[in-house]
Amino acid sequence: MEIKNYVRPNTLEDAYQTLLASDHNALLGGGVWMKYTNKKIDTMIDLSRLGLNHIVLHKDEIIIGAQTPLREIEIHPEIKGLGNGFLSLAVGSIVGVAFRNVATIGGSVVGKYPFSDLITPLLCLDVKLKFFPEEIIDLHDYLEQKHKHQAILTHIIIKKTKGHGYFKKVSNTSLDFSILNVACFYDQTFKIVVGSRPGKPIRATEVADMLNKSLPLSDDTLKKAGNMILKTIDFSSDERASKEYREILAKTYVMRGIKEVIKR
Ligand SMILES: Cc1cc2nc3c(=O)[nH]c(=O)nc-3n(C[C@H](O)[C@H](O)[C@H](O)COP(=O)(O)OP(=O)(O)OC[C@H]3O[C@@H](n4cnc5c(N)ncnc54)[C@H](O)[C@@H]3O)c2cc1C
């Protein structure tokens, strides 16, 4: 990574103005991904002095500052209690503890990484992103945006809910990117998300709708859900796995996830 200038602003306004000053300026979260991509940066804007490293609990919401390291999220008691710990499990599956002590939730969400083990379970929940300047946007809508968001993510807001969750990451080694990941959640209605297809995480809305109308679930409904996943979601091949292998994994783990969240 090549960086010409480095600044550590004390205010969001300063950080934002520096970001707008040039297309070659960039925000620094944990810096792990930036280093990996070997970018050339004019001014690197370190966000560490902006007071964005915290997890605040409100009555109905968990508010996570963008600079919070993944490890803090993984071990936080309230987050461990969400969906039987499915979010903690997902975050805990990302590389190793030392890595998760550095990588931030902000850098992990903003990057919209298709392999993300964090976004897949987050998409099962009601999650809003708060940006500076003032803007709050639903995570799903943010992921759908095609244009680059020239703003600073300050907080990730998770609505508390009492449902049951499931997360599965399939990778060649525990340190590798996902070949496929699946998250399911049930809180009176089903949410199913499949990621690393290798495309971005996507909600299996049609499958969830079918399940919601078919309670209590029979074995036939479960099989129908497994088949529908393959008809309604696209999978493809890359250097990690073939389309066919991903399809087998998706069908298997979606069916397992549905069973898991309903039986608790
Ligand atoms: C070798 C390697 C393996 C990985 N394996 C996995 C894996 O298995 N599963 C997985 O889910 N993830 C994986 N990741 C991704 C990782 O978990 C983080 O998501 C990633 O490192 C980004 O977090 P960061 O804090 O390092 O962000 P940075 O590198 O600091 O930033 C990433 C991008 O986000 C921007 N940014 C950072 N913070 C903000 C903000 N607050 N507002 C706006 N823009 C911002 C930066 O400008 C940059 O463009 C891996 C990354 C690496 C390098």
Q: What is the pLDDT of residues 51-107, one digit of tens each?
A: 999 999 999 999 999 999 999 999 999 999 999 999 999 999 999 999 999 999 999
Short-list 111, 57, 110, CA closest to 79: 57
| Ligand 1 atom nearest to 118, measured from its CA | 11
d(CA 233, CA 120): 14
Residue spans in the chain of domains classed CATH 3.30.465.10: 55-159
Task: Tell how far the Cα of 224 is from the centroid of ligand 1, in angstroms.
Answer: 36
pLDDT tens digits, one per residue of 156-181: 999 999 999 999 999 999 999 999 99
Say if residues 128 and 157 touch (Cβ distance below 8 Å). Answer: yes
Task: Tell how far the Cα of 104 is from the centroid of ligand 1, in angstroms.
Answer: 7
Residue spans in the chain of domains classed CATH 3.30.390.50: 175-263
- Residue 47, ligand 1, Cβ within 6 A: yes
Q: Strands across the sheet with 202-203, in order? A: 164-170, 180-186, 190-195, 202-203
d(CA 260, CA 264): 7
Beta-bridged to residue 69, according to DSSP, are 104
CATH architecture of the region 55-159: 2-Layer Sandwich (3.30)
Q: What is the predicted pLDDT for the residue at 63? A: 98
Q: What is the CATH number of domain 175-263?
A: 3.30.390.50
Task: Tell how far the Cα of 4 is from the centroid of ligand 1, in angstroms.
Answer: 21
- Residue 219, ligand 1, Cβ within 6 A: no
Does the predicted TM-score (pTM) go above 0.85? Answer: yes
Give residue 55's identity as a one-letter amino acid code. Answer: I
